[in-house]
């Protein structure tokens, strides 16, 4: 039996009406953690770094500057749960009567779809950004999983995978039901992207699960090598920087294509300093490093972002940045900039 929900949802927009927010269709909503003021620590960067920025990503320059400035009393919205009825999940999109929410890029573009034959009730913890980037899956979606488990039946459209993802799911006790196209008799969703005390506590609980039973040894610092993995951010002198950090500071280098999740956890769990090109591979460091540590990101001038700072804020870590010369297709960061930034980090840590 075909469903015309994509067509019916699109018609109001053709006449200039704003699409309905998905949350407006909830039959029940509840507060998991109230809005509250939290301390957002300032970022660490050299005074001249603003002059190096050619273009920003995931926000305008004022957003970047605001994040780096910090705020000791930033008002953080509540974490919310929502219950819906009669929702279809088809081709990566949630369809309700009058609204839709995209969790994956659609493979088709029709205005109708066959209504799913399978029906169930469950709690979805996945997000568009988590399905797109590994780092957001590990540091956002995996934080929402405990909410889904507490609410009832955790479900995800993400297929079973191997490597780091499978091991993290095992370490975090994640056992979701994997779904394709389904009809939800009842569906629970969460608004859980705000770094209030509840979310910060869940972050530390996830870290404790990752580190449980490990005999962690102190490590001066860890460089997480990105190379050509993920979206292009090619640091032309990445190997040279890794070698210099090893020689001058006693760093250890992690290669995400060579080291498994347990090997990485053993290293990052014993350090207070993670360095690497800005990107999802640094999530291995964020989830494992203890509060009070620092993540230093190396960024191309045409793709400067503080999106990772939103996550280090949640894990109660410091965030630092060096902006290099060049583009995401090929850029360099001079050693003197790194050295002076490391001095600033040392000064903050006392």
CATH number at residue 235: 3.40.50
Tell me how far the alpha carbon of residue 268 is from its chain's centroid.
Answer: 18
Instruction: Tell me, yes or no, whether 210 lies in a domain.
Output: no
Instruction: Tell me, yes or no, whether 206 lies in a domain.
Output: no
One domain for residues 24 and 48: no
One domain for residues 68 and 138: no
Tell me how far the alpha carbon of residue 247 is from its chain's centroid.
Answer: 31
Quote the CA–CA distance of 98 and 8 in Å, as a whole number.
Answer: 7
One domain for residues 344 and 319: yes
Give the pLDDT confidence score for residue 184 in this predicted structure: 97
Give the pLDDT confidence score for residue 349 in this predicted structure: 76
One domain for residues 338 and 268: yes
Give the pLDDT confidence score for residue 19 in this predicted structure: 76
Instruction: Tell me, yes or no, whether 209 lies in a domain.
Output: no
What distances in angstroms separate CA 188 from CA 3, 30, 46, one per listed residue?
A: 22, 11, 44
The range of the structural domain enclosing residue 52 comes to 40-75+217-349
Full-model pTM: 0.93
Question: Computed from CA positions of residues 251, 226, 70, 48, in that sequence, does the dihedral angle turn out positive or negative?
Answer: positive
Instruction: Tell me, yes or no, whether 211 lies in a domain.
Output: no
One domain for residues 180 and 268: no
One domain for residues 232 and 330: yes
Nearest to 5 by CA among 85, 100, 108: 100
Give the pLDDT confidence score for residue 16 in this predicted structure: 66
Give the pLDDT confidence score for residue 326 in this predicted structure: 94
Instruction: Tell me, yes or no, whether 35 lies in a domain.
Output: no
First-to-last C-alpha distance (Å) of the chain: 67
Nearest to 35 by CA among 91, 75, 66, 74: 75
Quote the CA–CA distance of 254 and 277 in Å, as a whole number.
Answer: 12
Give the pLDDT confidence score for residue 17 in this predicted structure: 66
Give the pLDDT confidence score for residue 220 in this predicted structure: 97
What distances in angstroms separate CA 50 from CA 75, 298, 305, one per listed residue?
A: 26, 14, 12
Strand residues in the chain grouped as ranges (E): 2-3, 28-33, 36-40, 71-76, 79-90, 93-96, 99-102, 113-114, 119-124, 154-156, 177-178, 182-191, 222-225, 252-255, 273-277, 294-299, 318-323, 325-327, 330-332
Instruction: Tell me, yes or no, whether 199 lies in a domain.
Output: no
What distances in angstroms separate CA 118 from CA 85, 89, 153, one per listed residue?
A: 15, 10, 16
One domain for residues 221 and 342: yes
Tell me how far the alpha carbon of residue 186 is from its chain's centroid.
Answer: 27
Instruction: Tell me, yes or no, whether 202 lies in a domain.
Output: no
One domain for residues 133 and 68: no
One domain for residues 11 and 105: yes
Quote the CA–CA distance of 298 and 315 in Å, as a whole number.
Answer: 20
One domain for residues 23 and 156: yes
CB 276, CB 225: distance < 8 Å:
yes
Number of domains in the chain: 2
244 burial type by CB count under 10 A (0-12 exposed, 13-18 middle, 19+ buried): middle
One domain for residues 66 and 85: no
Quote the CA–CA distance of 253 and 231 in Å, as a whole number.
Answer: 21
Task: Name the stretches of the chain with pLDDT < 50.
Answer: none
One domain for residues 62 and 100: no
93-96 and 79-90 strand pairing: antiparallel
How crowded is residue 36: how many other Cβ atoms within 10 Å of its Cβ? 15
């Amino acid at each position: 039996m075909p469903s015309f929900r994509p067509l019916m949802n699109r018609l109001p927009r053709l006449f200039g009406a704003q699409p309905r927010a998905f949350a407006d269709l909830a039959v029940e909503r509840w507060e998991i953690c109230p809005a509250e003021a939290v301390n957002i620590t300032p970022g660490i960067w050299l005074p001249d770094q603003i002059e190096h920025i050619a273009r920003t990503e995931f926000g305008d320059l004022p957003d970047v500057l605001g994040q780096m400035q910090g705020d000791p009393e930033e008002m953080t919205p509540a974490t919310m749960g929502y219950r819906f009825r009669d929702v279809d999940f088809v081709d990566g999109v949630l369809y309700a009567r009058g609204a839709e929410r995209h969790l994956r890029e659609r493979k088709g573009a029709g205005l109708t779809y066959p209504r799913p034959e399978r029906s169930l009730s469950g709690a979805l913890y996945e997000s568009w950004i988590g399905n797109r980037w590994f780092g957001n899956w590990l540091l956002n979606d995996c934080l929402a999983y405990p909410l889904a488990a507490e609410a009832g039946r955790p479900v995800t459209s993400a297929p079973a995978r191997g490597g780091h993802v499978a091991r993290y799911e095992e370490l975090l006790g994640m056992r979701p039901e994997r779904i394709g196209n389904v009809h939800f008799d009842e569906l629970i969703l969460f608004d859980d992207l705000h770094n209030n005390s509840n979310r910060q506590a869940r972050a530390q609980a996830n870290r404790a699960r990752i580190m449980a039973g490990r005999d962690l040894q102190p490590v001066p610092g860890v460089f997480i090598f990105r190379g050509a993995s993920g979206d292009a951010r090619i640091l032309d002198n990445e190997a040279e920087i890794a070698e210099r950090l090893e020689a001058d500071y006693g760093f250890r280098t992690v290669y995400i294509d060579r080291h498994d999740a347990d090997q990485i956890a053993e290293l990052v769990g014993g350090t207070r300093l993670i360095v690497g090109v800005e990107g999802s591979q640094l999530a291995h460091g964020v989830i494992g490093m203890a509060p009070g540590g620092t993540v230093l990101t190396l960024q191309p001038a045409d793709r400067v972002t503080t999106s990772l700072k939103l996550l280090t804020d949640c894990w109660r870590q410091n965030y630092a940045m060096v902006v290099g010369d060049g583009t995401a297709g090929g850029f360099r960061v001079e050693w003197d900039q790194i050295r002076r930034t490391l001095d600033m980090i040392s000064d903050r840590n006392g």
